[in-house]
């Protein structure tokens, strides 16, 4: 059985992680995939200089996400004797988590409830809400 855990780098993500951990501990064999998505769109506008530096920045962004968010989470899970691995991707958060879960054949996605609030969330919806509405894999939202 495979579980995908979507982290957003906020403290609420820890709750999702704890939930997944306790769930996996009760199963015989379970693989955990910790996913962190760096919000990015191929249709944004950039200057020529930003484009020239883009590859370098991308590597840096992935490195930071690995070090600060994903690797500590994977370590927490493996220390508890579970099988876990990390995936860091650029893209739309909801679409990318769903895409990974779908292509990995995961049976469930676990995410924390939306940590952002305010004006833009009211208009565009949160990533969590978008994921719940559009995912092709069952989603558990941890409060």
Partner 1 sequence: MNTIYKLFFTVAAFFAVAVPASAQEAVMTLDERVNSMFASSTGWFVSAIFAPIPGTSFPWIVMWLVIGASVFTIYFAFVQFRFFGHAIELVKGDYSDPNDAGEVSHFQALATALSGTVGLGNIAGVAVAVGIGGPGATFWMILAGLLGMASKFTECTLGVKYRNEYPDGSVSGGPMYYISKGFDELGLPGGKILAVLFSIFCILGALGGGNMFQANQAHAQITQITGDFPGWITGLIFAIVVFAVIVGGIKSIAKVTEKVVPFMGVLYVGAALIVLIVNYDQIGWAFGQIFAGAFTGLGVAGGLVGALIQGFKRAAFSNEAGVGSAAIAHSAVKTKEPITEGFVSLLEPLIDTVVICTMTALVITISGQLLWDETAGMYLLNDAGTAIATVGDTSGVALTSAAFGSAISWFPFVLAIAVILFAFSTMISWSYYGLKAWTYLFGEGKTTELVFKIIFCIFIVIGAAASLGPVIDFSDAAIFAMAVVNIFCLYFLMKVVRAELVSYSGRLKSGEIKKYQH
Enumerate binding residues for partner 1 (CB under 8 A). 38, 40, 42-56, 58-59, 61-62, 89-91, 96, 99
Please identify, using beta-carbon distances, which residue of 56 and 122 lies nearer to partner 1.
56
Instruction: State the minimum distance, in angstroms, from the CB of residue 46 to partner 1.
Output: 5
Are residues 112 and 20 in contact, defined by beta-carbon separation less than 8 angstroms? no
Are residues 76 and 21 in contact, defined by beta-carbon separation less than 8 angstroms? yes
What lies within 8 Å, CB to CB, of 128 at 6+ separation is 94, 111, 112, 113, 114, 141
Instruction: State the minimum distance, in angstroms, from the CB of residue 6 to partner 1.
Output: 16
Instruction: State the minimum distance, in angstroms, from the CB of residue 44 to partner 1.
Output: 7
Instruction: State the minimum distance, in angstroms, from the CB of residue 59 to partner 1.
Output: 6
Q: How far is CA 5 from CA 59, 68, 103, 126, in A?
A: 22, 16, 14, 17
Please identify, using beta-carbon distances, which residue of 15 and 90 lies nearer to partner 1.
90
Please identify, using beta-carbon distances, which residue of 2 and 89 lies nearer to partner 1.
89
Q: Give the largest CA-CA distance in the chain.
A: 52
């Amino acid at each position: 059985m495979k579980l995908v855990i979507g982290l957003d780098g906020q403290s609420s993500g820890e709750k999702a992680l704890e939930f997944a951990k306790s769930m996996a501990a009760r199963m015989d064999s379970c693989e955990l995939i910790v996913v962190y998505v760096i919000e990015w769109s191929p249709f944004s506008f950039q200057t020529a200089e930003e484009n020239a530096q883009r590859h370098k920045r991308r590597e840096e962004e992935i490195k930071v996400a690995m070090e600060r968010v994903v690797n500590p989470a994977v370590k927490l899970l493996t220390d508890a004797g579970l099988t876990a691995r990390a995936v860091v991707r650029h893209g739309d958060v909801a679409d990318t988590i769903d895409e990974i879960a779908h292509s990995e054949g995961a049976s469930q996605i676990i995410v924390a409830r939306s940590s952002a609030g305010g004006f833009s969330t009211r208009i565009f919806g949160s990533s969590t809400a978008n994921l719940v509405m559009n995912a092709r894999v069952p989603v558990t939202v941890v409060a």
